[in-house]
Amino acid sequence: MPRADHSISRSDISENALKVLYRLHNAGFQAFLVGGCVRDMLMGLHPKDYDVATDATPEQVKELFRNCRLIGRRFRLAHVVFGRDVIEVATFRGHHQEEDDEQTAKLSKRSDEGLLLRDNVFGSLEEDAERRDFTINAMYYNIADFSVADFAGGMQAIKAREIRLIGDPETRYREDPVRMLRAVRFAAKLDMKISASCGDLIPKLAPLLANIPPARLFEEVLKLFMSGHGLRTYELLQQYGLFNQLFPQLQPLLKKADSKESQLIRQVLINTDERVNQDMKVTPAFLYAAFLWYPVDARCQELQAEGGISPLDAFNMAVNDVLHRQLQRIMIPKRFSLPMRDIWALQHRLSRRFGRRAYQLLEHPKFRAAYDFLLLRAEQEGGELEELGKWWTDFQDADAEGRKALLDSLREGGVKTSRSRSKRRRPRTKKPVQ
């Protein structure tokens, strides 16, 4: 498509992306925008990041840019870094020959199930297009003449509003099962449907996700739920039998759509989508804490039913068990799992709010997140939790006098607090509020 036949103008493209394209071009390399940014611009959307494809090798890219890092092993590429903005520069990928020759075997590797373990054979632009996942993601904007190359019928698919894999769907899913998650992600984000030949296979092949390293799934899952279309994505993941692969401990609790567990997941996603769309901060810690709260709760009750264990110990063990199992599937870095633990632990501490403790809790770095989560639970469960949530809302809003009055009211109202009974009669550990 020559410049006159498409809608992409240079003013739509970020300055940093243009810088990268022009420097590659001026050094005599081919340079294209590719993937999501081209697709989004052609659909009239604003791209959130820019990917570049080139015939320069990662090393050649590194020589051209001082601010360049080479990353990835499975898929080696260059990141050109401008502060917080990163332009991803990938060398054209080529076909994988039979792995009889030693050189190729080093660069590309498949498992017995057809999983592509390494994809570092370089090739031509046309070959690169064939290695891309979906037809809508295989369009290239050429900085040399501002044309768009569409090898796989991406424009047609945009018009038909269909997500279609390039090549044989089963082979392409087996090469990289993450493509199943990507199909769902794009369907939700772009409000498109997954073509029948690509969608029908997903429930059958979903278990292949078990072969994906948990670290890679962490990134993918963030994109699934934190890009502003989380609820729709969740519904599609359920429809295609993928959600269970990501959160196997949660799935048994979601059998009924109107259960409190299902409602909580939906609500946290609705809230997350709202925040993303208003450019407010969202953290995976909150989302994961919400997703895994009921599995922790269920495990805690199971442990207590077995007997011989205090409620607090049962709770701590349940937290460890559930996190441990989840980490087999999706890696959660410590910087998120620690705040998750805080949010969970605070759910119990928020009900013990006598005297100084209430003030101390307000100062806790995770108080706000824990309070928000408490309100979310209260919305599903009502009753005691609703009162507790309201008390904390009032307590935060009140002045010094008001706070004192609120604390006094606990005693008068006979609400159980940590010191409302004599110390000796109080059990060392309190039963958590369920």
| Nearest-approach distance from CB 329 to Mg ion, in angstroms | 24
432 belongs to the binding site for Mg ion (CB under 5 A):
no
Closest separation in Å from C-beta 77 to ligand ATP? 10
Residue 178 binds which entry of Mg ion, ligand ATP, none, with Cβ cut-offs from 5 to 8 Å by kind?
ligand ATP
CB of residue 189 to ligand ATP, shortest distance in Å: 7
**How far is Cα 262 from Cα 269, in angstroms, rounded to an integer?**
11
Question: Which among 40, 119, 128, 133 is annotated as catalytic?
Answer: 133
- Which one, 213 or 365, has the nearer CB to ligand ATP? 213
Q: What angle do CA 282, 288, 292 make, to 5 degrees?
A: 150
| 389: contact with Mg ion by CB under 5 A | no
List the single partner that 356 binds among ligand ATP, Mg ion, none, CB under 5 to 8 Å by kind. none
How many CA atoms within 13 Å lie on the side-chain side of 50?
Answer: 25
Q: Which of 49, 313, 321, 372 is catalytic?
A: 49
Minimum gap (Å) between residue 152 Cβ and Mg ion: 17
Stretch in the footprint of Mg ion (CB under 5 A) among 28-36, 108-116, 229-237, 260-268: 28-36
Smallest gap from Cβ 176 to ligand ATP, in A, equals 5
Residue 133 is a catalytic residue = yes
The binder of 179, among Mg ion, ligand ATP, none, by C-beta within 5 to 8 A per type, is ligand ATP
Which residues would be at the binding site for ligand ATP (CB under 6 A)?
A: 35-36, 48-49, 51, 132-133, 137-138, 176, 178-179, 223
Segment contacting Mg ion by CB under 5 A, of 8-16, 45-53, 241-249, 287-295: 45-53
The residue (of 35 and 339) whose beta carbon lies closer to ligand ATP is: 35
Of these residues, 40, 51, 176, 342, which one is catalytic? 51
For β-strands 68-71 and 77-82, DSSP reports them as antiparallel
Q: What's the min distance (Å) between Cβ of 50 and Mg ion?
A: 7
> In the complex with Mg ion, which residue's Cβ is closer, 86 or 406?
86
Instruction: Rank residues 48 and 419 by Cβ distance to ligand ATP and give the closer one.
Output: 48
CA distances from 231 to 159, 202, 224, 237 (A): 24, 19, 10, 10
Q: Indicate if 51 belongs to the active site.
A: yes
- CB nearer to ligand ATP: give 134 or 293: 134
Which residue, 42, 56, 49, 58, is CA-closest to 139?
42
Of 96 and 179, which CB lies nearer to ligand ATP in the complex structure?
179
36: contact with Mg ion by CB under 5 A: yes
**Which residues does residue 162 pair with via DSSP β-bridges, in sequence order?**
193
Residue nearest to ligand ATP (CB): 36
Can you give the binding site for Mg ion, defined by CB under 5 A?
36, 49, 51
Catalytic residues: 49, 51, 133
